Amino acid sequence: MKAKVLAAFIAIKALALLTIAIVADSQGSSLAKIFTRWDAQWYRRIAQDGYGYSVTTSDGRILSDYAFFPLYPTLERWLHSATSLSYINSGLAISALSSILAALGIFKVVERTIGSKVAFYTVILWAGLPIAAVQTLAYSESFFTALAAWALYFLLRRQWLATGLLALLAGLTRPTAIAIIVAVMVAALIELQKRRRDKNAFIALLIAPLGMIGYIYWVGMQLDGWNSYFEVTKGWGNGLDGGQAFASWITDFFNDGQPIVGLVILLAISALFLLLWSLWRKSVPAPVFIYTLALVLISLATSGYFGSKPRYLLPAFPILIPIAIWISKKRRPQRVILLAAVLISSLIYGSIWLTGDGPL
């Protein structure tokens, strides 16, 4: 089954890349141009020159590279040094391999939680998400998803040292790692209540947050104090505001005569919480649910460029489990039609989105 799911995943990714290449060529662009924009360039600069680069926007905001966590560009630098690949191509190679490792990790988590059939469809759905094109960009989402998925898998097996180490590495990769860190720490505390002498669970509890804490502390040492990282994120407009900016953004669609767009976004958010409720009803292990809930809340409660919010939710793969269960209960012809519809929609949306001009 593992070979089958990986073959299907790789085939979907290859088809997506081919589709994007064809669409880009028809618009006079190319995959190289598409895959070297936005965050890919920020990671490339860090890998090549280290930290310290910033730009000032037209409205006076300062965008600093300290907003980007260090593990992904560090891997880019190592791979570049070892292979002479360009920094961007090193990032693409890391993301491609990470997406495969993430798919396998997702399969293992859901297989252990629900079963292999549902695990297979969860991976296929994750590969076919409208935003799934990010999985093969020189962005950190696939790498983070791989770390989080395998951390959850080892947690479910009570392999605490591996769990804690992976959570630590996730904390060096993306700020949303707080979701896996909290899940690991809560699970470790519960384990220690049951088995007070479990040294490995205690070690996992201690080391899980060290990556994130260490980077935030280091940024403070480089800049003007302990809260420097949070000041940097304000420049990017990515602070936590409880969802006020997001709510205002949605309200603006109704005020500006675009109620259909506003309604579509509200329906999407409602569907997201419906899936969360359904995931809870499936009685998935608490760490899996905590991780998913935390990712959803962080994504919705963060201000910033709202077109990127679906990308922030990409690592929240357990949200797909209820859909995968529903599909798995259909007859084979129905499953084929449903999955084909998902993949076609993903190819269309991904191609339009990636070949557009907006931030990713």
State pLDDT tens for residues 292-345: 999 999 888 776 655 567 788 999 999 999 999 999 999 889 998 998 888 888
Query: Which pLDDT score, from 0 to 100, does residue 171 have?
Result: 98
CB 167, CB 151: distance < 8 Å: yes
pLDDT at 11 exceeding the cut of 80: yes
Which residues fall within 8 angstroms of residue 5, CB to CB, at 6 or more apart? 103, 104, 107, 119, 120, 123, 124
Which residues fall within 8 angstroms of residue 331, CB to CB, at 6 or more apart? none
CB 72, CB 140: distance < 8 Å: yes
Mean pLDDT, residues 135-146:
93
pLDDT at 358 exceeding the cut of 60: no
Of 156, 59, 55, give the one whose Cα is nearest residue 113. 156
Among 45-54, 120-129, 256-265, 349-358, whose mean pLDDT is lowest?
A: 349-358
pTM (2 d.p.): 0.93
Query: Which pLDDT score, from 0 to 100, does residue 212 have?
Result: 97
**Torsion sign over Cα 220, 222, 224, 229:** negative
Tokens of 115: 């079963």
3-state SS of 212-265?
A: HHHHHHHHHHHCCCCCHHHHHHHHHCCCECCCHHHHHHHHHHHHCCCHHHHHHH
% the chain with pLDDT above 70: 94
* DSSP H/E element including 55: strand 54-56
Q: Identify which has the larger pLDDT, 197 or 157.
A: 157
Mean pLDDT, residues 204-225:
95
For helices 39-49 and 87-113, give the axis angle rounded to 10 degrees.
Answer: 120
Mean pLDDT, residues 106-130:
94
DSSP code, position 302: B
Query: With 0-12 CB in 10 A as exposed, 13-18 as middle and 19+ as buried, what is 297?
Result: middle
CB 239, CB 303: distance < 8 Å: yes
- CA-angle at 145, arms to 162 and 5, nearest 5°: 95
User: What count of Cα atoms within 13 Å lies in the side-chain half-sphere of residue 34?
Assistant: 24
Average pLDDT score over the chain: 89
CB 292, CB 279: distance < 8 Å: yes
Which residues fall within 8 angstroms of residue 64, CB to CB, at 6 or more apart? 53, 54, 232, 235
Query: Which pLDDT score, from 0 to 100, does residue 321 have?
Result: 96
Query: Which pLDDT score, from 0 to 100, does residue 236 have?
Result: 81
Rounded to whole angstroms, the Cα distance separating 107 from 99 reads 12
State pLDDT tens for residues 226-244: 889 998 988 887 766 666 7
Query: Which pLDDT score, from 0 to 100, does residue 243 have?
Result: 63
State pLDDT tens for residues 232-291: 988 887 766 666 777 777 787 787 777 887 788 888 888 889 999 999 998 899 999 999
Q: Which phi and psi angles does 283 have, rounded to 5°?
A: 55, 45
% the chain with pLDDT above 90: 57
Mean pLDDT, residues 147-168:
97
CB 195, CB 223: distance < 8 Å: no
pLDDT at 27 exceeding the cut of 80: no
